[in-house]
Structure 1
Amino acid sequence: MKTIGIVCRAAEADRARIPMVTRLIEEAGGRVVGEEDLKTSDVVLVLGGDGTILRAAEGVRGTEIPVIGVNFGHVGFLAEADPESLSDVVSRLVAGEYTVETRTTLAVTVTQPDGSTEEGWALNELALDKVERARMVDLTIGVDEHPISSYSCDALVVSTPTGSTAYAFSAGGPVVWPDVEALLIVPIAAHALFARPLVVAPDSIITVVMNETGFVDGELWCDGRRSLAAPVGSHIEIRRSAEPVHLARLWTSPFSGRLVAKFKLPVRSWKHPDKS
C-alpha cells in the first residue's frame, strides 16, 4: 500500500479539497498522511502552485521522498499536472507508476562579522536583498576562491537550473534546462560595467562578501521562505548541497514543451524537419 502525503495551500478553499483527494486515494487503495507526517509517506502530493511545492520540499528535506504537484496556483512551473488530471494522478501514484527526477539544491553558510554562522538551503534560489529599500548593497563576488567583480546592486540571485525560470529569470538570467548541471549568478540593477549573469560549474564554490565599505546590511532569502541575516562585513559561501530534492514525474514530455506551455511562448511557423 502506497502512503501519500498531502500538502495544499493554506487558503480555506484549497484546504476544502483535502477530503475529496483523500477519498480518491483511499478508493485507489492508498493511505493518506497529513503535512505533519510527510516523512512517513512514499510520495507527497501537492495541491497548489510552486510556492506550495517549495513548502513540501522543505517538509521532506533530508529524505528521498519525491514530491509531485497538481497546479492549483498560477504558473506552476514545478507542477506535473493540472487539476483536471487529478484523478489520473492519484491512481498512478498509488500504483507506483511514476519516475523520480533529482534536482540540484543550494547550501549556504553566512559568517557574520562577529564570527557567528548561519546555514540555509534552497531549491530555486538564494536571494541577497538589501534591508533598506532606498539604498544598495555593496558586494564582491568570487568563484572557487578567485575574485570576479565588485559592485553595488539592488540584489543578487544565486540560482539552480530549477530556479532559472523563477526569480533569476525575472532578473534577466538565462533559462537553464534542469538536466544541465550548473549554478547561476544574477545581479539585479548593478552599478558596474561587468555585471552580467554568470553560469558556473555545478561544483563551484560561490563567495559573496558584504564589503566593509558598504552602508546597507543585507538579508539572504532561501526560496523566499527562510531568511538569514547578512550585515555589512559578512562572508557568504554558496555551493551545491549534498541533499537534492526529488520530483515525481508521470509523463516524459520534454522541458521545451513545458517552457512553451507555461510561458505561452509563440511558436508560429515551426515545422519539424522531415525524418523520412
Structure 2
Amino acid sequence: MSQAESSRAVLVLAHTGRRDAVDAAVSVVERLHAAGLTPALLARDVDRLQVLVGERLNRVPLAVVGRDITLAQCEVGMVLGGDGSILRAAELVRGADLPLMGVNLGHIGFLAESERTELDSSVQWVVDHDYTVERRMAIDVRIWREGEQVASSWALNEASIEKKSRERMIDLVVDIDGSPVSAFGCDGVVMATPTGSTAYAFSAGGPVVWPEVEALVMVPISAHALFARPLVVDPDSVMAVEILQHEDEEAVLWCDGRRSVDLPAGSRVEVTRSAEPVRLARVNQTPFSERLVDKFNLPTSGWRGPVASEVRPEDDGVAGTRTVDPTSHPIGAEMATERGTLRHDAAQKEDGQ
C-alpha cells in the first residue's frame, strides 16, 4: 500500500507563476508532511516547482495526481493565490466533490478563507480537520443555434455575454422563464450567482447578494435603454439572452472569465442553476457583512452597534419598558463623555464661573 493510500491526502494548488505562491506551496507541503499527511500535487506543478525550488522539494515525499492518487482520494484542496486561482481550482475538481480552502495571496480574495499571514493556521485547520464545508451555487450554461444545442459549460461566478468588436454594440433580447423582458443594444450582459455578485456583476452595477441567498442575477452592461436594470430572479428560473439577427452581429460568451464560446447572430444562451454546487472549506464564521466591509475597505465610522436595552427598576417595573444604554458600545461611551463635558461647560457659564 502506498503512502497516499495509507494516510490522509491533501491537494495543494498554487499559482506557480508567482514567487510568493511558490514559497507558500513548498511551506505547506513541508508542514503537511511533518504532520503525517500526504501532499498531493499536479504533475505540471511538480515539474514547475522542481525548476524553481528543486532541492527543497526533493526532501518531501509527494503524491502526483493521476499517477499516485486520484482527486477523489484527497480530502480537501488548499489553493494558494487569489480568486482567479480558486476559480481555476474549481474547474479542476469539478465532479470530484472536493472542498477547496483558499489562502488569499492576491488582492480582494472574496472566495478565500484566510490571508497569507494565516498560512500556518490554515495548515493546522486542515491537519485538525477543523473546518466545515459550504456549498456555493453554480450555474449551467447552454448555447443554442437554430434550435439545436451546440455547446455547454458552467460557472461559479458568472456567465457573461460580451460584444466581440470594440467599435460595435450588440443587439439582444433578454427573457426570463421563456417570457421576453426587454430588447436593447449594449456592450453585454452578466448572468451571475450570489457568489459572483461581488465580481463582474458588481463592476457592472449589479446588487450585492449574500451568499446564502438563493437567487440568480442578470446585469446589463452599458445598455442603451430606458429600462436596463439589474434583475434578481428565482434560483430555479431560466435566464436567457438571444443575439438578434443583424449583419456582423457577433458576441462571445465567457464563463468565469476562463472558458469562452463564440456567439454569432441568432445564438441563444440559457443559464440555469446547476445541480452540482462548488464546495468551499470554511473555518471563520465571519458574517458576510464584515467580509464586505473588510474586502472593499468600506467606511463605517460613527457606527454605535446594536441597541443595548433592558428593563430597569426606575422604569417602575412596567413590562416591556426599555431604556437605551449608549455607553455599552465604545463609540457611544466616547460620545456620551463628550456630551457630558459640553453640558458641564455650559453649566459653568450659566453660574458665571
TM-score of the two chains, using structure 1 as the length reference:
0.96
Q: Does 1:172 align with 2:172?
A: no
Tell me, in whole angstroms, the C-alpha distance in 2 between the residues paired with 1:206 and 1:32.
41
Distance 1:86 1:247, change over 3 A: same
Match among 275, 291, 296 for residue 263 of structure 1: 296
Tell me, in whole angstroms, the C-alpha distance in 2 between the residues paired with 1:253 and 1:214.
51
For 2:222, the aligned partner's letter is A
Say which is worse superposed, 104-113 or 245-254, in terms of deviation. Answer: 104-113
2:31 matched residue in structure 1: 24
Structure number having the greater helix percentage: 2
Structure 1: unaligned runs, 5 residues or longer: none
> 2:135 touches 2:278 (CA, 8 Å); kept in 1?
yes
Q: Does 1:2 align with 2:8?
A: yes
Q: Does 1:56 align with 2:89?
A: yes
2:321 matched residue in structure 1: none
Match among 258, 276, 280 for residue 247 of structure 1: 280
Matches within 5 A, 1:176-187: 176-187=209-220
1:95 matched residue in structure 2: 128
Tell me, in whole angstroms, the C-alpha distance in 2 between the residues paired with 1:229 and 1:113.
15
Match among 86, 103, 107 for residue 119 of structure 2: 86
Tell me, in whole angstroms, the C-alpha distance in 2 between the residues paired with 1:135 and 1:269.
47
1:126 matched residue in structure 2: 159
Tell me, in whole angstroms, the C-alpha distance in 1 between the residues paired with 2:138 and 2:309.
39
Residue aligned with 2:96, SS: coil
Larger radius of gyration: 2
Q: Does 1:150 align with 2:183?
A: yes
Say which is worse superposed, 196-205 or 207-216, in terms of deviation. Answer: 207-216
For 1:176, the aligned partner's letter is V
Q: Does 1:15 align with 2:19?
A: no
Tell me, in whole angstroms, the C-alpha distance in 2 between the residues paired with 1:134 and 1:126.
22
Tell me, in whole angstroms, the C-alpha distance in 2 between the residues paired with 1:96 and 1:155.
43
Q: Identical aligned pairs, as a percentage?
A: 47
1:274 matched residue in structure 2: 308
Residue aligned with 1:42, SS: strand
Distance 1:214 1:50, change over 3 A: farther
Matches within 5 A, 1:207-218: 207-213=240-246, 215-218=248-251
| Aligned residues: CA RMSD | 1.4
For 2:157, the aligned partner's letter is N
1:20-77 Cα distance to aligned partner (Å, 9 max, x none): 2101111122111113524431100010000000001111101321001111011111
For 2:25, the aligned partner's letter is I
> 2:198 touches 2:208 (CA, 8 Å); kept in 1?
yes
1:275 Cα deviation after fit: 4.8
Tell me, in whole angstroms, the C-alpha distance in 2 between the residues paired with 1:82 and 1:189.
34
Tell me, in whole angstroms, the C-alpha distance in 1 between the residues paired with 2:303 and 2:8.
43
Tell me, in whole angstroms, the C-alpha distance in 1 between the residues paired with 2:174 and 2:208.
21
Match among 234, 237, 242 for residue 270 of structure 2: 237
Tell me, in whole angstroms, the C-alpha distance in 2 between the residues paired with 1:127 and 1:135.
17
Tell me, in whole angstroms, the C-alpha distance in 1 between the residues paired with 2:222 and 2:13.
36
Tell me, in whole angstroms, the C-alpha distance in 1 between the residues paired with 2:309 and 2:126.
36
> 2:254 touches 2:261 (CA, 8 Å); kept in 1?
yes
1:40 matched residue in structure 2: 73
> 2:72 touches 2:97 (CA, 8 Å); kept in 1?
no
Structure 2: unaligned runs, 5 residues or longer: 1-6, 44-64, 66-70, 311-353
> 1:157 touches 1:186 (CA, 8 Å); kept in 2?
yes
> 1:66 touches 1:247 (CA, 8 Å); kept in 2?
yes
TM-score of the two chains, using structure 2 as the length reference:
0.76
Give the number of aligned pairs: 276
Residue aligned with 2:114, SS: coil
1:116 Cα deviation after fit: 5.2
Tell me, in whole angstroms, the C-alpha distance in 1 between the residues paired with 2:172 and 2:222.
13
